[in-house]
Copies of this chain bind each other. A is one copy, B any other.
Amino acid sequence: MTIRAGIVGATGAVGQRLVQLLAPHPEFEIAAVTASEDSAGTPYRKAAKWRIDAPIPTDVGEMTVRETSPDAVPDDVAIVFSSLPSAVGERVEPQFCEAGYIVSSNSSNARRDPDVPLTVPEVNADHLGLLEVQRDERGWDGGLVKNPNCSTITFVPPLAALDDEFGLERVTVATLQAVSGAGYSGVTSMEILDNAIPHIGGEERKMETESRKLLGEFDGAEVHWHDAQVEASCNRIPTLDGHLENVWADTDEAVSIDGAATAMGEYPAVDLHSSPDQLIHVFEEPDRPQPRLDRTRENGMAITAGGPRETDTGLQFNCLAHNTLRGAAGASVLNGELLLERGYL
Protein backbone atom coordinates (compact mmCIF):
# COMPACT_ATOMS: atom_id res chain seq x y z
CA MET A 1 0.00 0.00 0.00
CA THR A 2 1.43 3.32 -1.03
CA ILE A 3 0.40 6.75 0.17
CA ARG A 4 -1.18 8.91 -2.51
CA ALA A 5 0.70 12.16 -2.92
CA GLY A 6 0.27 15.44 -4.73
CA ILE A 7 3.01 17.72 -6.00
CA VAL A 8 2.13 21.40 -6.08
CA GLY A 9 4.35 23.64 -8.14
CA ALA A 10 5.46 20.57 -10.07
CA THR A 11 6.90 22.23 -13.17
CA GLY A 12 9.69 24.30 -11.59
CA ALA A 13 13.28 23.22 -11.03
CA VAL A 14 12.53 21.72 -7.61
CA GLY A 15 9.14 20.42 -8.72
CA GLN A 16 10.86 18.40 -11.45
CA ARG A 17 13.18 16.92 -8.86
CA LEU A 18 10.14 15.98 -6.74
CA VAL A 19 8.71 14.17 -9.75
CA GLN A 20 12.03 12.41 -10.31
CA LEU A 21 12.24 11.27 -6.67
CA LEU A 22 8.61 10.33 -6.11
CA ALA A 23 7.89 8.51 -9.37
CA PRO A 24 9.89 5.41 -8.35
CA HIS A 25 9.31 5.84 -4.59
CA PRO A 26 8.11 2.68 -2.80
CA GLU A 27 6.07 4.51 -0.15
CA PHE A 28 4.44 7.27 -2.18
CA GLU A 29 2.51 7.35 -5.41
CA ILE A 30 2.10 10.52 -7.47
CA ALA A 31 -1.65 11.11 -7.73
CA ALA A 32 -1.71 14.73 -8.86
CA VAL A 33 0.60 17.42 -10.20
CA THR A 34 -0.31 21.08 -10.12
CA ALA A 35 1.10 24.26 -11.56
CA SER A 36 0.06 27.82 -12.34
CA GLU A 37 -3.21 28.49 -14.14
CA ASP A 38 -1.53 28.77 -17.55
CA SER A 39 -0.41 25.16 -17.43
CA ALA A 40 -3.57 23.65 -15.95
CA GLY A 41 -5.22 21.24 -18.35
CA THR A 42 -2.11 20.40 -20.36
CA PRO A 43 -0.08 17.22 -20.05
CA TYR A 44 2.83 17.52 -17.61
CA ARG A 45 5.19 16.66 -20.46
CA LYS A 46 4.20 19.87 -22.23
CA ALA A 47 3.84 22.09 -19.18
CA ALA A 48 7.25 21.32 -17.70
CA LYS A 49 10.32 22.44 -19.58
CA TRP A 50 12.18 19.36 -18.36
CA ARG A 51 15.83 20.14 -17.55
CA ILE A 52 16.96 16.97 -15.78
CA ASP A 53 19.44 14.75 -17.57
CA ALA A 54 17.15 11.71 -17.45
CA PRO A 55 13.88 11.24 -19.31
CA ILE A 56 10.56 12.33 -17.72
CA PRO A 57 8.94 9.37 -15.92
CA THR A 58 6.41 8.20 -18.53
CA ASP A 59 3.31 8.06 -16.31
CA VAL A 60 3.83 11.51 -14.93
CA GLY A 61 4.58 12.90 -18.37
CA GLU A 62 1.06 11.92 -19.42
CA MET A 63 -0.69 13.30 -16.33
CA THR A 64 -2.85 16.36 -16.79
CA VAL A 65 -1.61 19.32 -14.80
CA ARG A 66 -4.17 20.62 -12.30
CA GLU A 67 -4.68 24.01 -10.74
CA THR A 68 -2.93 24.63 -7.44
CA SER A 69 -5.96 24.44 -5.17
CA PRO A 70 -7.28 21.87 -2.67
CA ASP A 71 -10.43 21.52 -4.78
CA ALA A 72 -8.42 20.36 -7.76
CA VAL A 73 -6.65 17.57 -5.86
CA PRO A 74 -8.32 14.15 -5.25
CA ASP A 75 -9.57 13.53 -1.73
CA ASP A 76 -7.61 10.33 -1.30
CA VAL A 77 -4.36 12.25 -1.51
CA ALA A 78 -2.82 12.22 1.97
CA ILE A 79 0.25 14.37 1.53
CA VAL A 80 1.11 17.29 -0.65
CA PHE A 81 4.70 18.13 -1.50
CA SER A 82 5.02 21.82 -2.12
CA SER A 83 7.62 23.82 -3.96
CA LEU A 84 5.88 27.06 -4.71
CA PRO A 85 7.14 30.62 -4.95
CA SER A 86 6.88 31.86 -1.36
CA ALA A 87 4.15 34.40 -2.12
CA VAL A 88 1.99 31.63 -3.58
CA GLY A 89 2.90 29.19 -0.82
CA GLU A 90 1.89 31.72 1.80
CA ARG A 91 -1.57 31.92 0.29
CA VAL A 92 -2.17 28.34 -0.81
CA GLU A 93 -0.49 26.10 1.75
CA PRO A 94 -2.85 27.06 4.60
CA GLN A 95 -5.80 26.22 2.30
CA PHE A 96 -4.45 22.69 1.85
CA CYS A 97 -3.84 22.30 5.61
CA GLU A 98 -7.32 23.52 6.37
CA ALA A 99 -8.72 21.04 3.85
CA GLY A 100 -7.03 18.27 5.80
CA TYR A 101 -3.86 17.68 3.80
CA ILE A 102 -0.44 17.24 5.34
CA VAL A 103 1.92 19.57 3.49
CA SER A 104 5.64 18.90 3.30
CA SER A 105 6.96 22.14 1.93
CA ASN A 106 10.15 23.48 0.50
CA SER A 107 8.73 26.97 0.00
CA SER A 108 10.36 29.66 2.09
CA ASN A 109 7.21 31.13 3.64
CA ALA A 110 6.34 30.33 7.28
CA ARG A 111 9.66 28.68 8.06
CA ARG A 112 10.23 30.86 11.08
CA ASP A 113 6.66 30.69 12.40
CA PRO A 114 6.79 29.49 16.03
CA ASP A 115 4.24 26.72 15.47
CA VAL A 116 5.64 25.37 12.20
CA PRO A 117 8.15 22.54 12.46
CA LEU A 118 11.28 23.21 10.41
CA THR A 119 12.97 19.86 10.26
CA VAL A 120 15.91 17.92 8.91
CA PRO A 121 15.12 14.36 10.08
CA GLU A 122 18.67 13.53 11.10
CA VAL A 123 19.06 16.74 13.10
CA ASN A 124 15.82 17.66 14.83
CA ALA A 125 13.09 15.10 14.11
CA ASP A 126 11.63 15.83 17.54
CA HIS A 127 10.58 19.31 16.40
CA LEU A 128 7.82 17.52 14.51
CA GLY A 129 5.99 17.63 17.82
CA LEU A 130 5.17 21.25 16.99
CA LEU A 131 2.44 19.84 14.73
CA GLU A 132 0.24 19.31 17.78
CA VAL A 133 0.76 22.91 18.83
CA GLN A 134 0.02 24.02 15.29
CA ARG A 135 -3.22 22.06 15.05
CA ASP A 136 -4.35 23.37 18.40
CA GLU A 137 -3.66 26.94 17.45
CA ARG A 138 -4.85 26.91 13.87
CA GLY A 139 -7.63 24.38 14.07
CA TRP A 140 -6.29 22.45 11.10
CA ASP A 141 -6.95 18.78 10.35
CA GLY A 142 -3.90 18.72 8.15
CA GLY A 143 -0.56 20.27 9.00
CA LEU A 144 2.40 22.16 7.64
CA VAL A 145 5.98 20.97 7.87
CA LYS A 146 8.89 22.84 6.35
CA ASN A 147 12.40 21.96 5.33
CA PRO A 148 14.98 24.73 5.46
CA ASN A 149 16.61 26.63 2.63
CA CYS A 150 19.11 24.68 0.51
CA SER A 151 22.11 26.65 1.74
CA THR A 152 21.01 26.15 5.35
CA ILE A 153 20.65 22.38 5.01
CA THR A 154 24.22 22.19 3.79
CA PHE A 155 25.95 23.53 6.88
CA VAL A 156 23.56 22.65 9.67
CA PRO A 157 24.40 18.92 10.00
CA PRO A 158 28.15 19.53 10.42
CA LEU A 159 27.33 22.35 12.85
CA ALA A 160 24.99 20.08 14.79
CA ALA A 161 27.78 17.55 15.09
CA LEU A 162 30.16 20.20 16.39
CA ASP A 163 27.55 21.72 18.71
CA ASP A 164 26.88 18.38 20.36
CA GLU A 165 30.54 17.85 21.15
CA PHE A 166 32.08 21.28 21.51
CA GLY A 167 29.32 23.87 21.81
CA LEU A 168 28.82 26.60 19.21
CA GLU A 169 29.34 30.29 19.99
CA ARG A 170 29.67 31.94 16.65
CA VAL A 171 29.40 30.81 13.05
CA THR A 172 30.66 32.63 9.97
CA VAL A 173 29.83 31.19 6.57
CA ALA A 174 30.53 32.10 2.94
CA THR A 175 28.64 30.18 0.28
CA LEU A 176 29.39 29.31 -3.36
CA GLN A 177 25.95 28.45 -4.67
CA ALA A 178 24.85 26.77 -7.88
CA VAL A 179 22.47 28.42 -10.33
CA SER A 180 19.77 25.77 -9.97
CA GLY A 181 19.12 27.16 -6.51
CA ALA A 182 17.49 30.16 -8.15
CA GLY A 183 15.11 28.07 -10.21
CA TYR A 184 14.97 27.52 -13.92
CA SER A 185 15.01 31.16 -14.98
CA GLY A 186 16.50 32.65 -11.85
CA VAL A 187 19.95 33.44 -13.18
CA THR A 188 20.54 34.43 -16.79
CA SER A 189 23.61 33.27 -18.63
CA MET A 190 24.79 36.84 -19.18
CA GLU A 191 24.74 37.37 -15.43
CA ILE A 192 26.88 34.42 -14.48
CA LEU A 193 29.22 33.28 -17.26
CA ASP A 194 32.79 34.26 -16.28
CA ASN A 195 31.32 35.88 -13.18
CA ALA A 196 30.17 35.53 -9.58
CA ILE A 197 27.47 37.48 -7.73
CA PRO A 198 28.28 38.31 -4.09
CA HIS A 199 24.77 38.59 -2.73
CA ILE A 200 21.57 36.56 -2.94
CA GLY A 201 18.58 38.55 -1.75
CA GLY A 202 17.16 37.14 1.46
CA GLU A 203 19.49 34.14 1.49
CA GLU A 204 21.89 35.51 4.09
CA ARG A 205 19.03 36.13 6.49
CA LYS A 206 17.57 32.67 5.89
CA MET A 207 20.84 31.01 6.77
CA GLU A 208 21.28 33.16 9.86
CA THR A 209 17.83 32.46 11.27
CA GLU A 210 16.83 29.01 10.03
CA SER A 211 20.07 27.51 11.31
CA ARG A 212 19.38 28.78 14.81
CA LYS A 213 15.84 27.39 14.77
CA LEU A 214 17.07 23.99 13.52
CA LEU A 215 19.76 23.81 16.21
CA GLY A 216 17.31 24.98 18.86
CA GLU A 217 15.63 22.94 21.63
CA PHE A 218 12.00 21.89 21.52
CA ASP A 219 10.53 21.70 25.01
CA GLY A 220 7.19 20.23 23.99
CA ALA A 221 5.59 23.62 23.52
CA GLU A 222 8.04 25.79 21.65
CA VAL A 223 11.46 25.84 20.01
CA HIS A 224 14.14 27.85 21.77
CA TRP A 225 16.48 29.06 19.09
CA HIS A 226 20.18 28.45 19.48
CA ASP A 227 21.90 31.63 20.64
CA ALA A 228 25.01 31.39 18.48
CA GLN A 229 25.90 34.47 16.44
CA VAL A 230 25.55 33.42 12.78
CA GLU A 231 26.79 35.59 9.92
CA ALA A 232 26.43 34.56 6.28
CA SER A 233 27.68 35.88 2.97
CA CYS A 234 26.06 34.24 -0.05
CA ASN A 235 27.58 34.06 -3.54
CA ARG A 236 26.23 32.71 -6.79
CA ILE A 237 28.83 31.05 -9.04
CA PRO A 238 28.70 29.29 -12.45
CA THR A 239 27.97 25.76 -11.23
CA LEU A 240 24.81 23.86 -12.07
CA ASP A 241 24.17 21.94 -8.85
CA GLY A 242 25.80 21.71 -5.44
CA HIS A 243 26.27 24.44 -2.84
CA LEU A 244 29.78 24.65 -1.40
CA GLU A 245 30.32 26.49 1.87
CA ASN A 246 33.31 27.77 3.85
CA VAL A 247 32.51 27.74 7.56
CA TRP A 248 34.24 29.11 10.63
CA ALA A 249 32.84 27.76 13.91
CA ASP A 250 33.90 29.35 17.16
CA THR A 251 33.30 26.82 19.90
CA ASP A 252 33.07 26.69 23.69
CA GLU A 253 35.68 23.96 23.87
CA ALA A 254 38.78 23.51 21.73
CA VAL A 255 38.27 21.36 18.66
CA SER A 256 40.94 19.16 17.17
CA ILE A 257 40.84 18.16 13.49
CA ASP A 258 40.45 14.53 14.47
CA GLY A 259 37.76 15.31 16.99
CA ALA A 260 35.83 17.25 14.39
CA ALA A 261 36.16 14.51 11.78
CA THR A 262 34.93 11.93 14.26
CA ALA A 263 32.02 14.06 15.42
CA MET A 264 30.91 14.64 11.84
CA GLY A 265 31.59 11.18 10.46
CA GLU A 266 29.80 9.46 13.32
CA TYR A 267 26.85 11.81 13.48
CA PRO A 268 23.84 9.46 13.59
CA ALA A 269 21.94 8.61 10.43
CA VAL A 270 18.25 7.73 10.43
CA ASP A 271 16.43 4.81 8.91
CA LEU A 272 14.24 6.38 6.25
CA HIS A 273 13.98 5.34 2.62
CA SER A 274 15.79 8.36 1.17
CA SER A 275 18.27 8.99 3.96
CA PRO A 276 21.94 8.23 3.31
CA ASP A 277 23.75 5.40 5.07
CA GLN A 278 26.18 7.95 6.44
CA LEU A 279 24.94 11.51 6.81
CA ILE A 280 28.27 13.34 6.62
CA HIS A 281 31.13 12.03 4.50
CA VAL A 282 34.41 13.54 5.65
CA PHE A 283 37.27 13.84 3.14
CA GLU A 284 40.92 13.69 4.00
CA GLU A 285 41.98 15.52 0.85
CA PRO A 286 42.22 19.26 1.58
CA ASP A 287 40.65 20.26 -1.75
CA ARG A 288 37.38 18.37 -1.28
CA PRO A 289 34.41 18.41 -1.33
CA GLN A 290 33.93 19.84 -4.83
CA PRO A 291 30.49 20.39 -6.38
CA ARG A 292 30.88 18.40 -9.59
CA LEU A 293 32.67 15.47 -8.01
CA ASP A 294 30.81 15.11 -4.74
CA ARG A 295 27.25 16.41 -5.07
CA THR A 296 25.77 13.03 -6.04
CA ARG A 297 27.11 11.00 -3.08
CA GLU A 298 24.45 8.57 -1.84
CA ASN A 299 21.99 9.69 -4.52
CA GLY A 300 22.63 13.31 -3.71
CA MET A 301 21.43 12.92 -0.11
CA ALA A 302 24.76 12.90 1.75
CA ILE A 303 26.48 15.98 3.10
CA THR A 304 30.21 16.08 2.36
CA ALA A 305 32.79 17.93 4.43
CA GLY A 306 36.52 18.51 4.37
CA GLY A 307 39.38 20.95 4.74
CA PRO A 308 39.31 21.21 8.54
CA ARG A 309 41.82 23.59 10.16
CA GLU A 310 42.08 24.54 13.78
CA THR A 311 41.77 28.25 14.49
CA ASP A 312 42.48 30.23 17.65
CA THR A 313 38.81 30.12 18.50
CA GLY A 314 37.50 26.90 17.01
CA LEU A 315 37.40 25.22 13.62
CA GLN A 316 37.36 26.17 9.96
CA PHE A 317 35.97 23.67 7.42
CA ASN A 318 34.12 23.28 4.12
CA CYS A 319 30.90 21.46 3.37
CA LEU A 320 28.72 20.67 0.37
CA ALA A 321 25.28 19.32 -0.48
CA HIS A 322 23.28 18.86 -3.65
CA ASN A 323 20.96 21.84 -3.47
CA THR A 324 17.96 20.52 -5.38
CA LEU A 325 18.20 16.98 -3.91
CA ARG A 326 19.39 17.05 -0.25
CA GLY A 327 18.74 20.80 -0.19
CA ALA A 328 15.21 20.93 -1.57
CA ALA A 329 13.19 18.13 -3.19
CA GLY A 330 14.98 15.37 -1.28
CA ALA A 331 14.54 17.30 1.95
CA SER A 332 10.79 17.52 1.43
CA VAL A 333 10.56 13.84 0.54
CA LEU A 334 12.60 12.93 3.61
CA ASN A 335 10.24 14.95 5.78
CA GLY A 336 7.37 13.08 4.12
CA GLU A 337 8.98 9.78 5.04
CA LEU A 338 9.45 10.97 8.60
CA LEU A 339 5.80 12.00 8.79
CA LEU A 340 4.83 8.54 7.59
CA GLU A 341 7.09 6.80 10.10
CA ARG A 342 5.74 8.92 12.94
CA GLY A 343 2.16 8.06 12.04
CA TYR A 344 1.01 11.36 10.64
CA LEU A 345 0.00 9.71 7.34
- Contact A195 to B239, CB < 8 A, known contacts A172-B248, A188-B188, A316-B231: yes
Is the CB–CB distance between B193 and A240 below 8 Å? yes
Tell me the nearest residue of chain B to A183, going by C-beta: B190
Is the CB–CB distance between B316 and A233 below 8 Å? yes
A246 CB within 8 Å of chain B: yes
Find A235's partner among B184, B189, B193, B244 (CB 8 Å cutoff): B244
Is the CB–CB distance between B237 and A196 below 8 Å? yes
Residues on B with C-beta less than 8 A from A288 are: 198
Tell me the nearest residue of chain B to A239, going by C-beta: B194
A318 CB within 8 Å of chain B: yes
Is the CB–CB distance between B198 and A244 below 8 Å? yes
A245 to chain B, nearest CB (A): 9
A114 to chain B, nearest CB (A): 24
A53 CB within 8 Å of chain B: yes
Is the CB–CB distance between B235 and A291 below 8 Å? no
Residues on B with C-beta less than 8 A from A193 are: 179, 189, 192-194, 238-240, 292
Residues on B with C-beta less than 8 A from A287 are: 197-199
A289 CB within 8 Å of chain B: yes
Tell me the nearest residue of chain B to A229, going by C-beta: B312
Q: Please count how many residues in chain A sit with their CB below 8 Å of the partner chain's CB atoms.
A: 60
A285 to chain B, nearest CB (A): 9
Residues on B with C-beta less than 8 A from A199 are: 286-287, 307, 318
A51 CB within 8 Å of chain B: yes
Is the CB–CB distance between B238 and A237 below 8 Å? yes
Find A233's partner among B174, B190, B238 (CB 8 Å cutoff): B174
Is the CB–CB distance between B190 and A289 below 8 Å? no
In the complex, chain A residues 283-331 whose Cβ is within 8 Å of any chain B Cβ: 286-297, 306-307, 309, 311-313, 316, 318
In the complex, chain A residues 1-50 whose Cβ is within 8 Å of any chain B Cβ: 13
